[in-house]
Amino acid sequence: MQCFALPLKTSTMLNNLARNFFWKKSDTQKGLPLISWDRICQPKARGGGLGLRKDEATNKAFQCKLAWKILTNANSCWVQAMKTKYLTHSTLLDYKIKPTDSSVWNNVLPSRNLLISGLTWQIGDGSNISFWFDN
């Protein structure tokens, strides 16, 4: 689930299993949902939610975590392998997808857009930042 994007049908099935666990009385009798599934999946801090997560969001978060690991954890064995194989001439944010890339790498790359929307830069000496192209 961490390395691969789950198909929508699989995510829906997993969410249905979780819903049925809460709302079904038995295999033959349906229960009465007293609160919407969206409300149950809200964080506890917002009130009314149980803090459960939908599988699509969890899957996307895991993939973003791998992309974040590439940006921040240079000592990881997996990160070193990915950088050696794919990022010798570019960075993760500038990498162009190739048809020969592995399925794991192809599943991590789409999470860049979500990751970029929350990134901020620490300027330092400015050697890693493009004035014209980076936010």
Query: For 2-25, what is each residue's pLDDT tens digit?
Result: 778 888 899 989 988 888 887 776
Residue among 4, 1, 2, 25 at smallest CA distance from 102:
4
pTM (two decimals): 0.74
SS3 5: coil
- Given a cut of 70, the residues of the chain with pLDDT beneath it are 1, 25-27, 135
Amino acid at 42: Q
Angstrom distance (rounded) from CA 96 to CA 26: 51
The predicted pLDDT at position 69 comes to 92
Angstrom distance (rounded) from CA 102 to CA 124: 34
Residue among 37, 3, 47, 1 at smallest CA distance from 17:
37
Which run of H or E residues covers position 100? Answer: none
Tell the residue number behind the tokens 């390395």, with chain if given. 3
The predicted pLDDT at position 120 comes to 78
Amino acid at 99: P
The predicted pLDDT at position 107 comes to 86
